[in-house]
Amino acid sequence: MDIVIEHSAQGVLTIALNRPEKKNAITSAMYQTMADALADAQGDAAVRAILIRGGQDAFSAGNDLEDFMKSPPTSEDAPVLQFLKRISEAEKPIVASVAGVAVGIGTTLLLHCDLVYASDSAMFSLPFSQLGLCPEAASSLLLPRLAGYPLAAEKLLLGEAFDAREAHRMGIVNRLLTAGEVDAFAYAQAVKLAALPASSLRVTKMLMKRASGQEIAERMKEEVVHFGKMLLAPEAREAMMAFFQKRKPDFRQFD
């Protein structure tokens, strides 16, 4: 299974990306599974905390581009948009464990998690501009707010990879550990959360996020409009063709 869902006796729901042969690149079906798991967790009193993790070589390489081009998110009920809505509005605490690569949405989804732990060898990137696209998951709002405009601009405009220490300095990551330690540590943190009063965590999270909740929803909608238009534009077609043909894209022909 590309997504493995596990319920623990300690009250932690684990959502594990399990597609190592594709570096956990996410398909539409995987988004739907994760969106459904988050929706189910909301109404399940036995789930008191949520852990999202990948593998030691890859948290996620982002969207599976071939699947993405076959099933682009053209409506509000698209699986990727369902997932983003549910992770951004989740009332229960979400912990992420990151090792290996975290590309595109593999990084932006972390902005909606409450605690993020990463291996010191993890690599992050937000290559939207390199694909002729724009940011998603409200990252155009959340990243400048979290890291400051100069650092956010560097990551979102250039789209170049950055290491775990930079992600920690920007505030994306709470703590760095070794690749062999990060999953166990993140799970232990989720267990700690699960043992605390659920109402206290729920209200505390709500109070911290309430001011930005409407902004996040509105920014996601705005990003989706631009993203949809740009996905059909010549620049994105050139970027996708170059990716599949394993060459550098040539954007000089476009204004």
Q: What percent of the chain has pLDDT over 90?
A: 86
> What gap in Å lies between CA 223 and CA 221, rounded to an integer?
5
Fold of 1-179+195-255: 2-enoyl-CoA Hydratase; Chain A, domain 1 (3.90.226)
Q: What percent of the chain has pLDDT over 70?
A: 100
The pLDDT tens digits of the residues spanning 34-45 come to 999 999 999 999
Q: Which residue has the tokens 């949520």?
A: 50
DSSP-based three-state secondary structure for 69: helix
Query: Which stretches of the chain are assigned E, i.e. beta strand?
Result: 3-7, 12-17, 49-53, 58-60, 94-98, 101-103, 115-119, 123-125, 162-163, 175-177
**In terms of Cα–Cα distance, which of 69, 59, 73, 170 is closest to 121?**
59
Q: Is the pLDDT of residue 183 over 90?
A: yes
Q: Is the pLDDT of residue 151 over 80?
A: yes
The pLDDT tens digits of the residues spanning 184-210 come to 999 999 999 999 999 999 999 999 999
Give the global pTM.
0.96
Q: How high is the pLDDT of residue 200?
A: 98
Compute CA 176 distance to the chain's CA centroid, rounded to the nearest angstrom: 18
> What gap in Å lies between CA 128 and CA 158, rounded to an integer?
9
The pLDDT tens digits of the residues spanning 40-87 come to 999 999 999 999 999 999 999 999 988 988 888 877 889 999 999 999
Segment 225-231 mean pLDDT: 91
Q: Which residue has the tokens 């999270």?
A: 205
- Name 67's Cβ contacts closer than 8 Å, sequence gap at least 6: 25, 27, 28
| Average pLDDT score over the chain | 95
Return the domain boundaries, the chain.
Answer: 1-179+195-255
Q: Report yes or no: 25 and 55 within 8 Å, Cβ to Cβ.
A: no
Q: How high is the pLDDT of residue 72?
A: 83
**Bridge-based pairing state of the strands 3-7 and 12-17:** antiparallel
Q: What is the 3-state secondary structure (H, E, C) of 163-226?
A: EHHHHHHHCCCCEEECCCCHHHHHHHHHHHHHHCCHHHHHHHHHHHHHHHHHHHHHHHHHHHHH
Compute CA 162 distance to the chain's CA centroid, rounded to the nearest angstrom: 16
